[in-house]
Amino acid sequence: MCDKCSDNSHQSVAPSRRSMMLFASAALAATAFGGTASAKQAKAPPKPQNVLSPDAALKRLMEGNARYVAGVSRRHDFAHEREALVGGQNPYAAVLSCADSRIAPEYAFDSARGDLFVCRVAGNFAGDETVASMEYTVSALGTPLILVLGHDSCGAVDATIKSLKDDKPLPGHIPTLVSAIAPAVKAVAQQSGDALENAIRQNVIDNVAKLKSSTPILSAAVEQGKLKVVGGIYRLRTGTVELLTQG
Answer whether residue 42 shows pLDDT above 70. Answer: no
pLDDT band at 32 (very low <50, low <70, confident <90, very high): low
Higher pLDDT, 38 or 150: 150
* Distance separating alpha carbons of residues 1 and 74, to the nearest angstrom: 6
The CATH fold of domain 3-245: Beta-carbonic Anhydrase; Chain A (3.40.1050)
Answer whether residue 65 shows pLDDT above 90. Answer: yes
- The secondary element (H helix, E strand) that includes residue 238 is none
Pairing of strands 145-151, 228-234: parallel
Whole-number percent of the chain with pLDDT over 70:
82
DSSP per-residue string spanning 94-140: EEEE---TT--HHHHTT--TTTEEEEE-TT----HHHHHHHHHHHHT
Q: Using CA of residue 92, residue 96, residue 100, residue 103, what is the dihedral sign?
A: negative
DSSP 44: S
156, 163, 164, 207 from 176: Cα distances, Å: 11, 12, 13, 16
CB 226 within 8 A of CB 26: yes
Answer whether residue 14 shows pLDDT above 50. Answer: no
According to the model, what pLDDT value does residue 77 have? Answer: 78
pLDDT band at 39 (very low <50, low <70, confident <90, very high): very low
Work out the mean pLDDT of the chain and round it to a whole number. Answer: 87
Answer whether residue 75 shows pLDDT above 90. Answer: no
Give the bridge partners for 243, in sequence order.
232
pLDDT band at 67 (very low <50, low <70, confident <90, very high): very high
46-72 as b/e: b if 16+ CB within 10 A: bbbbbbbbbeebbebbeebbeebbeee
* Mean pLDDT of the 211-239 span: 98
* Distance separating alpha carbons of residues 158 and 150, to the nearest angstrom: 13
* Distance separating alpha carbons of residues 84 and 89, to the nearest angstrom: 9
Domain ranges of the chain: 3-245
Angle between helices 35-43 and 17-29 (to 10 degrees): 170
According to the model, what pLDDT value does residue 57 have? Answer: 98
Answer whether residue 38 shows pLDDT above 70. Answer: no
Neighbours of 231 (CB within 10 A): 26
Higher pLDDT, 83 or 229: 229
* Distance separating alpha carbons of residues 163 and 155, to the nearest angstrom: 12
According to the model, what pLDDT value does residue 180 have? Answer: 98
Short-list 81, 73, 91, CA closest to 26: 91
* Distance separating alpha carbons of residues 160 and 6, to the nearest angstrom: 42
Neighbours of 172 (CB within 10 A): 6
According to the model, what pLDDT value does residue 43 have? Answer: 61
* Mean pLDDT of the 94-110 span: 97
- pLDDT tens, position by position, 109-128: 999 999 999 999 999 999 99
Lowest mean per-residue pLDDT among 79-83, 131-135, 218-222: 79-83
According to the model, what pLDDT value does residue 76 have? Answer: 80
pLDDT band at 178 (very low <50, low <70, confident <90, very high): very high
179-198 as b/e: b if 16+ CB within 10 A: ebbbebbeebeeeeeebbbb
